């Protein structure tokens, strides 16, 4: 099974490869990161590490046996015991339960390691796979939202009740 690792400086090359390889795949269901993201990747990576050091976000990579990045599972906007969950899994690793496993593992880490009590998430209505992952892991729909102009759903999970 892959390992969920807290983002480190040495993850940068594998993470960039992951983002490039899966760009079109991700863009089919979530907004594209744009050219600037790739052109300024090293700068962005350092900024993410600084946010993590400040305790306002926790970024994780899902690393396979050969040190390749298979996914990202992140907690952002950490405040008052809650955070926003975001995740993406490589196209070639999709459909094997990896997203469910990684999100479940991060929920446990959020509660036991980071002391969080509530996680929020959102996905577009047309992203059935993401909606299924959130439901399997115990998130409930709390409202409707718009994500880059696309209709979506907002979710929440009370970690203290698990």
Helix axes 41-54, 12-21, angle to 10 degrees: 120
- Confidence at residue 147, expressed as pLDDT on a 0 to 100 scale: 86
User: For the residues 132-140, what does the mean pLDDT come to?
Assistant: 97
* pLDDT tens string 4-48: 999 999 999 999 999 999 999 988 877 778 788 899 999 999 999
CATH code of the domain containing 48: 3.40.630.30
* pLDDT tens string 38-91: 999 999 999 999 999 999 999 999 999 888 999 999 999 999 999 999 999 999
Picking from 73, 68, 94, the residue whose alpha carbon sits closest to that of residue 11 is 68
List all residues 6 or more positions away from 123 whose beta carbon is below 8 Å from its beta carbon: 130, 131, 134, 147, 152, 153, 155
Number of domains in the chain: 1
pLDDT band at 162 (very low <50, low <70, confident <90, very high): low
Between CA 111 and CA 162 the distance in angstroms is: 9
- Confidence at residue 83, expressed as pLDDT on a 0 to 100 scale: 98
Q: Which secondary-structure segment (H or E) carries 69?
A: strand 69-79
Residue 127: Cβ within 10 Å count: 19
pTM of the predicted model as reported, rounded to 2 decimal places: 0.92
Q: Are 82 and 117 in contact (CB under 8 A)?
A: yes
Range of the domain at 146: 3-158
Show the tokens assigned to 102.
């990684």
pLDDT greater than 90 at residue 121: yes
Q: Which CA distances in Å does 132 have to 62, 127, 155? A: 19, 9, 12
- Degrees to nearest 5, angle at CA 81 with 78 and 84: 40
């Amino acid at each position: 099974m892959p390992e969920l690792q807290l983002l480190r400086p040495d993850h940068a090359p594998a993470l960039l490869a992951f983002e490039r390889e899966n760009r079109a795949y991700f863009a089919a269901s979530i907004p594209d990161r744009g050219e600037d993201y790739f052109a300024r990747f090293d700068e962005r990576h350092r900024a993410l590490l600084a946010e993590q050091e400040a305790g306002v976000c926790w970024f994780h990579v899902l690393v396979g046996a050969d040190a390749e990045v298979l996914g990202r599972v992140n907690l952002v906007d950490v405040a008052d015991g809650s955070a926003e969950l975001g995740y993406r899994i490589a196209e070639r690793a999709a459909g094997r339960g990896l997203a469910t496993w990684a999100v479940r593992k991060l929920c446990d880490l959020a509660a036991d390691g980071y002391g969080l009590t509530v996680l929020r998430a959102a996905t577009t209505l047309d992203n059935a796979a993401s909606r299924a992952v959130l439901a399997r892991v115990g998130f409930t729909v709390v409202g409707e939202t718009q994500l880059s102009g696309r209709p979506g759903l907002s979710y929440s999970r009370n970690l203290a009740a698990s």
